[in-house]
Amino acid sequence: MFLKNLSLTHFRNYDALSLTFDGPIQLFIGNNAQGKTNVLESIYVLALAKSHRTPRDKELIAWDADFAAIRSDVERRYGSVRLELQLTAKGKRAKINGMEQQKLSEYVGALNVVMFAPEDLGVVKGAPAQRRRFIDMEIGQVSPTYLYYLSNYNKVLAQRNQLLKDMAMKKSNSLEMLAIWNTQLADLAVKLLRKRFEFIRKLETWARAIHAGITDGKETLSLHYENSSPVTEEMAAEQAVEAMLAAYEEVFDREMARGSTLIGPHRDDFSLKVNGMDVQTYGSQGQQRTSALSIKLAEIELIKEEVGEYPVLLLDDVLSELDEHRQTLLLETIQDRVQTFVSTTGVEGLKHQVLQQASRFYVREGKISGER
């Protein structure tokens, strides 16, 4: 897929911006805090209807404006689609070819992106919540039903947690209602888990091969889903639901004391191991960066496998974080295959031929000038 253009209105520090793209690599060059990352972020938001930097949409809207808008014409293998996303204090409005989408889950996936930024090291060494978000965002790009299940799961989870709190405070003793929430939550949890198991298995297949290539076969990368429930990948759906319900019964007293649901996808994690050792705990900085790079390159291939075409790649000030060997491997992987947007403070250390042929955009105080 290929972004032919990008239009921003009241997005971050861009009151109005219109860019056209005609090459596979776009370089955005400028000092820090000028607006380079904002351009890449806008493409990410256009694709996923949320930012990788903040959960608060109001931060994306210029301080003196009531809304922000992002638009782009995207060339896909089946033709061109026009995407429009408007952000307001009341919520989001998403359109595909001028038709408003009633649910964001019906919109997400029209544009697929992979973002690689320095903070993506958090997927390797950060908190479990970062890895859960990574899983949810990446599966959601290729599976609208996953986003639908996830939204419903979070709604039922909130209701169940509230009931547990009320029961703990003697405001309610409705075991019948708890049984209803248990049944609904277990069914949705199993749907999410089955998608997650499949995703981690496929991601590991790609990441293992890529990691071996980066390390000349000296290291083996493996991914392990860390499950808070007894559900396994081998279980049939009905068996898995029964296992979830039994687990709720087992932890009921602890959940009452805590006033929250203690098992399920919202509590899960996954780990990365190199030669059997946990990268988060025992990996060197180099191993952590290589693992993160392997995961990102694996994402590109997995999306290609799922949707039939490569996603757009966003490299936000990350090339300077990679040594020459990792830079070369990344750039040779994407060459002539993946439309890529790169932000950087300078081009002095970027000597690869791919970057020498890139379209260059110079960013200063929210203004962009182009040079082919």
Annotated binding site for ATP: 30-37
- Contact partners, residue 157, CB within 8 Å, separation at least 6: 185, 261, 264, 266
Residue linked to tokens 């081998």: 234
Other beta carbons less than 10 A from residue 89's beta carbon: 9
Q: Residue 2: beta bridge partners?
A: 75
Instruction: Quickly count: other Cβ atoms within 10 Å of residue 65's Cβ.
Output: 14
Q: Which residues are annotated as a binding site?
A: 30-37
Structure tokens at 329: 């491997």
Two tokens, residue 19: 């860019």
Residue showing tokens 């791919």: 354
Distance, first Cα to last Cα, the chain: 21
Please, are residues 316 and 201 in contact by the beta-carbon 8 Å criterion?
no
* Cα-based angle 47, 49, 55 (whole degrees, multiple of 5): 130
